[in-house]
Amino acid sequence: MRVLFSDLDRTLIHSHRHEISGEKIPAEYYKDRIQSYISVSNLNAVEIYCRENLFVPVTTRHMAQYERLSPFYEKLKFRYALICNGAVLLENNIPDKKWNDESVRLTEPYYDALKEIYEYFMTVHAKEHIHFIEPFFVYVKTDRPDETYNFLKDKYRGIDVYYNEYKVYCIPESISKGNCVKRFKEIYCKDMKDFAIGDSMFDFSMMKECSCAFAPADCDFYDGNIKRLDMPFDFSRIFEIMEDFR
């Protein structure tokens, strides 16, 4: 039996802003509008994989954002999901209190720093663009994410700063995706062959935590266990590689 820890956005599901080839179906709705799609071929591949193996989404989406993916997870019906970057564990879409209490304990030393970052954001960004997913992390939507990243990246010890095309996230290293995947493996799948897949630096720590991982061919990070593949990912091909992995 194998376990695959998978990022979601731009890895398995794709924003309506970015075209993907082939047949696709909605994966997410927001205000009655389609926000994300999943390719039918990848949906079918994951569905077949889940019959005998463990598929664990690992996403920075918080609960409200994850719940918008109901068209996606209702089709696949996977047992576990790690949301809020892994700080919140869902089992059959119900939060695991013991796991979440431990995440609160792990982030407590960084709460004051997160609050300070949030207050800084409030002085330079519109309030509606700032989000404090208490007590776990802070993020802001901005048209200059690189500038915000460069200002914050070395400012707070123990706080990892990541950015994409329009958001900047500040997340305690104690709940990095890698640390949360490590916790999960120790409890639920200690003896399984472990794999990870993602598209960005957000996912690098969990890739390093697994025996084999998959990343975009043009990624700017690397570790010896990472296999680089063309985007968008073809999950049928990924499962073939996993099958042959020794």
Angstrom distance (rounded) from CA 207 to CA 242 = 14
Residue 79 φ/ψ, nearest 5 degrees: -75, -40
Spatial neighbors of 74 by CB under 8 A, at least 6 apart, are: none
Which pLDDT tens digit goes with each residue over 122-179? 999 999 999 999 999 999 999 999 999 999 999 999 999 999 999 999 999 999 999 9
Q: In 3-state terms, what secondary structure has residue 229?
A: strand
Q: Is residue 222 over pLDDT 80?
A: no
Q: Is residue 246 over pLDDT 80?
A: no
Q: Is residue 223 over pLDDT 90?
A: no
Question: Average pLDDT for residues 215-243, to the nearest whole number?
Answer: 93
Angstrom distance (rounded) from CA 70 to CA 26 = 10
When the pLDDT of each residue in the chain is averaged and rounded to a whole number, the result is: 95
Q: Is residue 225 over pLDDT 80?
A: yes
Compute how many other C-beta atoms are within 10 angstroms of the C-beta atom of residue 141.
Answer: 14
Structure tokens at 60: 């920075």
Angstrom distance (rounded) from CA 156 to CA 182 = 24
Q: In 3-state terms, what secondary structure has residue 11?
A: coil
Spatial neighbors of 105 by CB under 8 A, at least 6 apart, are: none
Spatial neighbors of 141 by CB under 8 A, at least 6 apart, are: 125, 129, 130, 166, 167
Return the minimum-mean-pLDDT range out of 99-108, 215-224, 232-241. Answer: 215-224
Pairing of strands 33-39, 24-30: antiparallel
Structure tokens at 182: 């490590």
Q: Which CATH number fits domain 2-105+176-244: 3.40.1350.10, 1.10.8.350, 3.40.50.1000, 3.30.470.10?
A: 3.40.50.1000
- Looking at this protein, which amino acid is placed at residue 212? C
Angstrom distance (rounded) from CA 33 to CA 28 = 8
Asked if residue 232 has a cis previous peptide bond (ω within 30° of 0), the answer is: yes
pTM for the whole thing? 0.96
Question: Average pLDDT for residues 112-124, to the nearest whole number?
Answer: 97
